[in-house]
Chain A
Amino acid sequence: MTKNSGVSIDKTLFDWPSDSPHLKGSKCSDCEAVTFPTQDGCPRCCGTNMEKIPLNTKGTLWSWTVQGFLPKSPPYAGPETLENFKPYGVGYIELDGQVRVESRLTESDPEKLEIGMPMELVFHKFIEDEEGNDVIAFAFAPIDGE
């Protein structure tokens, strides 16, 4: 997969392709609350002065779990079958000073997941759409060597 192929699973979350891929959030100009995804109204002060900001691409794991069974479809659109399903990690990544983002993790081994570990944003092909385009989704991966 190259940066020039594929389409974003949802353009309100991130643009793809992009020279500096990142998740989009919004920040309240009045009280500085940060949201993910973006939204028009502030969930903290109830104001409406939200501006779009790029979210940090690195953070720490706040909590995690491992999805152990194939989710019902719909809504799940992943390519797995009951036979080849492999559990996947899910967690909240705390982006310093911004917000905790819920995300799939590239790691699914409970022995290798630990609250507080450093993580970074990655993008991967999730499925193909009807036109044969790669549909790109985001995930967080442990940062090697830390």
Chain B
Amino acid sequence: MTDVAIIGIGIHPFGRTEGVSGQDQGIYAAREALKDAGVDWSDLEFAYGGSAAAGAADSMVSKMGLTGLQFINVANGCATGGSALQSAYMAIKSGAFDIGIAVGFDKHERGAFRVDSPDWYGKTGLALTTQFFGMKIQKYMSDYGISDDTLIKVAEKAFRNGSLNPKAWRKQPLSYDEIKNSPMLSHPLRKYQFCSPAEGGAAIIMCKASMAKKYTSTPLYLKAAVVRTRRYGSFEVFTKGQAIDQAESPTVDASKAAYEMAGVGPEDIDVAQLQDTEAGAEIMHMSENGLCKDGDQEEMIQTGATEITGNLPVNTDGGCIANGEPIGASGLRQVHEICIQLRGEGEKRQAPGDLRTGYSHVYGAPGLSAVTIIQR
């Protein structure tokens, strides 16, 4: 089977862009990616695209150009972007296509995600994703000795990194006290420790590896792209009755499969993007992705290991906390940032050193994870 190269990346700034539709943000990102790769829309043989709240992705062809390409809409919860990428990866890997694009965009209403749950669960105030995240980190802190102070420091890092990223939504750093004193939304998590639904677009152009040098002297290689869903006993959002026999999360499954597919281990990862729906998620996802043992996060974060200058920079672009979460685009933003870091184009937020291997992870409702591993 052929290898897969990433030759073009594009992003529309995340946050709130009045007067620009979600689809137009996706089109902007796609055109940026085409420019970056030096190819035309008409060169693309296929597209996988996703949007949760901003219309069918494939309708963008009427503005991009009606070239007849295979365009498939992807809808896979919070992992929509990651799933679009995985589909594109398989399309090339299988030999069916030579070149194509994964694109995602979204535009959500303000405030927490509204969940369509007209039954007793929604009526009585249990259908909130925020509660799940609060309960998961509450239990984890109790089991593994993670402190409230560390939770605050994760959010502080997110806003500090976001302030160095011109495409981020939240560009103002927030102080420790501003985070600590923000309203408690779902104990132990406060307002400024959560990401918010937002807007944005991102696109990644891939081709078979043997063609990559035709387009760029510095291609990156997508070594693994994996999607996994929950197994019996994993603790997931909107679980009304949870099995007492606990199983590993889908992140653990996706991560193990990705390392195996890429032929690398956690010790090889130079820079990582981990789903930080809130500060606790970033902490738990460090261990679920094999990047540390349960409980090691306390010391790592206290000593700055996950800062841009640390030995395992995590969420160098500010993550979901500073960028918000437009569902269709979020997983592709993470991949975009890994590419920026591996190319050394991070400017003020560039992690130092010879970065060779990057890792991205998106997790979301109703219990699925997508992981990619990218190498220079």
Partners in one complex: yes
Interface residues, chain A, CB within 8 Å of chain B? 9-10, 13, 25, 33-37, 43-44, 62-69, 71-72, 74-78, 87-88, 90-92, 94, 97-104, 110, 115, 126, 137
93-142 of chain B: CB within 8 A of chain A? 111-112, 114-120, 122-128, 130-131, 134-136, 138-139, 142
Q: Of B119, B138, B240, which is within 8 A of A64 by CB?
A: B138
Nearest-CB distance from A121 to chain B (Å)? 14
Please indicate the chain B residues that have their CB under 8 angstroms from the CB of A33 in the complex. Answer: 232, 243
Q: How far is the CA of A129 from the CA of B19 in the complex (A)?
A: 42
Count how many pairs of residues, one from A and one from B, have CB atoms less than 8 Å apart in the complex.
124
Q: Which of B41-49, B75-83, B181-189, B308-316 contacts A (4 or more CB under 8 A)?
A: B181-189
Q: A37-B240, A75-B118, A90-B126 are in contact. Are A66 and B232 (CB under 8 A)?
A: no
Q: Of A64, A76, A87, A126, which is within 8 A of B122 by CB?
A: A76
**Identity of the chain A residue whose Cβ is nearest the Cβ of B118 in the assembled complex:** A75
Q: A25-B241, A115-B138 are in contact. Are A13 and B120 (CB under 8 A)?
A: yes
Cβ B240 vs Cβ A101 within 8 A: yes
Q: Of A64, A66, A74, A78, which is within 8 A of B118 by CB?
A: A74
Please indicate the chain A residues that have their CB under 8 angstroms from the CB of B120 in the complex. Answer: 9-10, 13, 137
Q: How far is the CA of A91 from the CA of B235 in the complex (A)?
A: 13
Q: How far is the CA of A92 from the CA of B239 in the complex (A)?
A: 10
Q: How far is the CA of A65 from the CA of B127 in the complex (A)?
A: 13
Nearest-CB distance from B230 to chain A (Å)? 10
Q: Name the residue in A33, A66, A71, A75 with the highest tally of chain B Cβ atoms < 10 Å from its Cβ.
A: A75
Nearest-CB distance from B20 to chain A (Å)? 25
**Identity of the chain B residue whose Cβ is nearest the Cβ of A44 in the assembled complex:** B232
What are 30 A-B residue pairs whose CB atoms fall within 8 Å in the complex?
A13-B120, A33-B232, A34-B241, A36-B240, A63-B136, A64-B135, A65-B135, A66-B186, A67-B125, A67-B131, A68-B185, A69-B185, A71-B127, A75-B115, A75-B118, A75-B123, A90-B135, A92-B135, A94-B244, A98-B244, A100-B241, A100-B244, A101-B241, A102-B240, A102-B242, A103-B126, A104-B126, A110-B187, A126-B124, A137-B124
